[in-house]
Amino acid sequence: MPAREGRGAAVALRDVTISFRLGGTADFTAVEAASLTVEDGEFVAIVGPTGCGKSTLLNVAAGLLTPSAGSAEIFGAPLAGLNPDAGYLFQADALFPWKTAVENVAIGLEVVGVASAEARARAKEWLGRVGLAPFAGRYPHMLSGGQRKRVGLAQVLIRDPKILLMDEPFGPLDAQTRQIMGNLLLELWSADRKAVMFVTHDLEEAIALSDRVVIMSAGPAARIIGDWRVPLPRPRDIGEVKLDEAFHVLHRDIWAKLKDEVLKGYARTGGG
Ligand SMILES: Nc1ncnc2c1ncn2[C@@H]1O[C@H](COP(=O)(O)OP(=O)(O)OP(=O)(O)O)[C@@H](O)[C@H]1O
Ligand SMILES: [Mg+2]
């Protein structure tokens, strides 16, 4: 999909370095000179070893973290403060335990001033879209892990963000549920292609979902060390696409580069 006229890429991170002050001693540089562009409508997966800085990069795109060096631009404008165009699906479940599924989704609109009756009606529609209509009145502890992820997805998408930031959203789910969630995500995304930055450990998931796969090296001072275009046609079924010869060729190519970094990452962080 072409970029919105004259507005530039949805996300452009240029030579972004992120250092954390650890009190007293030298700063810790998590990410160094990372450059990454996500075009409007493009689905980009970011894969890298544990602790390399994937969540940190998403935090920069969300405006939650200011780079120590380099710049972040959103649709051509320098990012200052929170990114108003971004919807963020966090690595951990972020549902309110004391609110029902429909209330949790409605909150996505209430925080931007939509009246609660309207927010609730639209939340019900969204729960239908993610296949949870019968579960509207349940509290998070009464939902399965996959169902909670669906509520989280609806909570973010109801605000219709132009940019979707997803941090290992299906991480804790079993393989079959991940596949179902991946297909649901692709179905919702294809309706009005948003720019997506999708962080995952899972290279197969990255290739199956995205238009481009970006690889990061093991930290500290992690860098972006590879960027592949995924040549698989859409619409895709995640189960079927993994049987495609082009999928295997790409997987082999990327894994050849990623493998050493993953091993380094485990050695340096103790595996998470
Ligand atoms: N606020 C902080 N202060 C100090 N160090 C931090 C802070 N946030 C992250 N880090 C460090 O920065 C590095 C990158 O962290 P980040 O959470 O981005 O990794 P990640 O790639 O998302 O890892 P995972 O795959 O395990 O989620 C890690 O070494 C982490 O310990
Ligand atoms: Mg992370």
Question: DSSP letter string over 224-264?
Answer: EEEEEE----SS--HHHHTTSHHHHHHHHHHHHHHHHHHHH
Residue 88 near residue 70 (C-beta atoms within 8 A) = no
Place of tokens 């609109």: 109
DSSP 142: G
Q: How far is the CA of 50 from the centre of ligand 2 (A)?
A: 7
Length of the chain: 272
Atom 23 of ligand 1 has which residue's CA nearest to it? Answer: 51
Q: How far is the CA of 31 from the centre of ligand 2 (A)?
A: 13
Q: Residue 176, class by beta-carbon neighbours within 10 Å (0-12 exposed, 13-18 middle, 19+ buried)? A: exposed
pLDDT the model gives residue 2: 44
pLDDT the model gives residue 108: 86
pLDDT the model gives residue 79: 95
- DSSP β-ladder status, 163-167 and 195-200: parallel
Kindly report the average pLDDT of the chain as a whole number.
92
Angle at 48 between CA 44 and CA 54, to 5 degrees: 70
Bigger pLDDT: 4 or 35? Answer: 35
Distance CA 144, CA 117 (A): 27
pLDDT of 139 above 60: yes
Q: How far is the CA of 240 from the centre of ligand 2 (A)?
A: 28
Atom 17 of ligand 1 has which residue's CA nearest to it? Answer: 55
Q: Where does the pLDDT of residue 269 fall: very low under 50, low under 70, confident under 90, or very high at 90 and above?
A: low
- Ligand 1 pocket at CB < 6 A: 20, 22, 28, 30, 48, 50-56, 91, 201, 219, 272
pLDDT the model gives residue 21: 86
pLDDT the model gives residue 3: 44
Atom 11 of ligand 1 has which residue's CA nearest to it? Answer: 30
Mutation to probe ligand 1, out of 17, 25, 50, 56 (largest number of atoms < 8 A from CB): 56
CATH class of 4-85+166-269: alpha beta
pLDDT the model gives residue 145: 87
Of 38, 37, 39, 57, the closest CA to residue 47 belongs to 57
Atom 29 of ligand 1 has which residue's CA nearest to it? Answer: 51
Q: How far is the CA of 2 from the centre of ligand 2 (A)?
A: 30
Q: What is the mean pLDDT of residues 178-206?
A: 94
What residues does the ion ligand 2 have nearby, CB within 5 Å? 55
Q: Where does the pLDDT of residue 271 fall: very low under 50, low under 70, confident under 90, or very high at 90 and above?
A: low
pLDDT the model gives residue 270: 62
Q: How far is the CA of 203 from the centre of ligand 2 (A)?
A: 15
In tens, the pLDDT along 214-258 reads: 999 998 999 999 999 999 999 999 999 999 999 999 999 999 999
Q: Could you say which ligand is closest to the alpha carbon of residue 30?
A: 1
Mutation to probe ligand 1, out of 20, 47, 59, 216 (largest number of atoms < 8 A from CB): 20
Residues 6+ apart with CB under 8 A from 56: 18, 30, 31, 65
Phi, psi of 200, rounded to the nearest 5 degrees: -155, 155
Q: How far is the CA of 199 from the centre of ligand 2 (A)?
A: 8
pLDDT of 272 above 80: no
pLDDT of 122 above 80: yes
pLDDT the model gives residue 13: 97
In tens, the pLDDT along 16-67 reads: 999 998 876 778 999 999 999 999 999 999 999 988 999 999 999 999 999 9
